[in-house]
Amino acid sequence: MRLIDKLNLLQNKKILVLGDLMLDEYEYGEVSRISQEAPVQVVKFEYSKKVIGGAGNTANNLVSLGAEVFLAGIVGSDRKHKELLECLKQANINSEGVITDNTKPTIVKKRIVSGKNQLIRIDYEDNKPIDHEAQEKIKQFIQKKIDLVDVIVISDYDKGLINVDLMKFLINLSNEKKIPTVLDGKSQNLECFKDVTLITPNIQEARQMSGIYDNVEEMGKVLVSRLNTNLFLTRGADGISVFEKNGKITHVPTKKVPVYDVTGAGDTVVAISALGLASGMNFKEIAEIANIAGRIVVQKPGTATVTLEEIRKTMDSISIRESHEKYKKKWGYEEWIVNLDSAGYCGKKLILNKGYQCSIHYHKEKDEVFYINKGFVLMTIDGKQELMKPESRIRIEPGTRHRFIGLTDAEIIEISSFHKEEDSYRDEPSGRVNEEKFKNYIKKYSDEINE
């Protein structure tokens, strides 16, 4: 199954997200002048918006990708926690596990933005450890939901929620239930990260965690060994390096794109990783999809999410751009023009050598049209022969056994419905035509060929 075909597997998963919740506030305006009071820019306010940040953005990404999310974390007993809960409600995120901690404020990150430029950020937070009573309530919530979920995500921003006791409880419970865990966290809590299924640090976080600064493979190996986990090392424009517990290392490159805002890009990678694990994909496949999703989200302003449809369209466009590779065949070669499954059609150019033939074959689902661009081709269709000349065309419906033979060197354009490679059923192999048979074909059709 091609990677694009596996996107549907990501839908309808149930995910528990545990992490530091934040309210991201954006104040937008135009820089009009420099203040007379101090050498700072004066921003004329235009509009503002509030979005879910931190672990909430991971949850928001998961919902955008078709998942049902159970969110667990803390907020303060203040006005901002009501605004955050309203944002969660609008995003269709279950906030039953969002617990009020009277000893801490709701975390707010306020950004002042002009055009594409973020001018300043103000953080309202208290990073002291979570209240014991609030932590016990979170444990109870996790215990209540554990049998409903396919995977657990831990999103740690080092704001006081994640600690050794809570993580030991979570890892023991998830291992007992055989539920995979994905963690995105800060190096200060490294001892909490042992034995999770997958961690997803960026390059700077991996340097701090490992103490290694100039060798990607060494820092990956050290972290896998130290934490007994698999690792996605996200490297921005250099893609994702995958380190598996079995020792396998895979570097998955990405394509450079204009970056508008990297806010929340790591949350998108975490969301795809969780859904990929829940869907049974291998690590390389997950990293390839995560690269594409991350590439989409960094081109959006602010804390953003991505959808499966956006990923599918991007994969389609990649397929179109990269489809011109030639594939050698026994009868010549084929070159894809387009393979657009979301639109339901494919197209390729077939270069058929004189004296060669494809296999006798049929398709159960594929419906195709052959257009002869150059040369002369003898088509065998359900046992009957038909000479095809330049500019002639023929439709081959599903279930029709057919073969093309090159009476001369020929170029054929094939347009077909979207199909999978396994929808090809061959009765006889392709290759060179029997010499005596070929002579007879040429003799029979020589007048038409030499016109």
**From 184, 261, 267, 341, the catalytic residue:** 267
* CB contact set of 390 (below 8 Å; sequence gap of 6+): 372, 373, 374, 375, 376
Nearest to 206 by CA among 197, 196, 193: 193
Would you state the structure tokens that stand for residue 70, as one six-digit string?
A: 């159970």
Task: Show Cβ contacts of residue 378 under 8 Å, excluding neighbours closer than 6 positions.
Answer: 385, 386, 387, 388, 404, 405, 407, 441, 445
Angle at 12 between CA 23 and CA 62, to 5 degrees: 20
With beta carbons less than 8 A apart as the criterion, state whether 73 and 99 touch.
yes
Write out the two tokens for 92.
């269709």
Neighbours of 373 (CB within 10 A): 14
Residue 110 amino acid letter: K
3-state secondary structure of 222: helix
Pure H helices in 114-229:
132-145, 164-177, 203-210, 216-227
The β-bridge partners of 370 are: 394, 414
The CA distance from 260 to 301, in Å, is: 6
Q: Dig out the tokens for 276 from the structure.
A: 């990929």
**Count of Cβ atoms closer than 10 Å to residue 153 Cβ:** 31
> Under DSSP, is residue 253 helix (H, G, I), strand (E, B) or coil?
coil
Phi and psi at residue 364, to the nearest 5°: -80, -30
Assess whether 267 carries a catalytic annotation. yes
- Using left for φ > 0, alpha for ψ between -120 and 50, and beta otherwise, residue 187 falls in alpha
Question: Whose CA is closest to 224, among 250, 251, 199?
Answer: 199
State the sign of the Cα–Cα–Cα–Cα dihedral 120, 263, 306, 311. positive
Please name the amino acid found at residue 265.
A
What number of H helices and E strands is found in the chain? 10, 26
Write the single-letter amino acid at 198.
Answer: L
Catalytic annotation, residues: 267
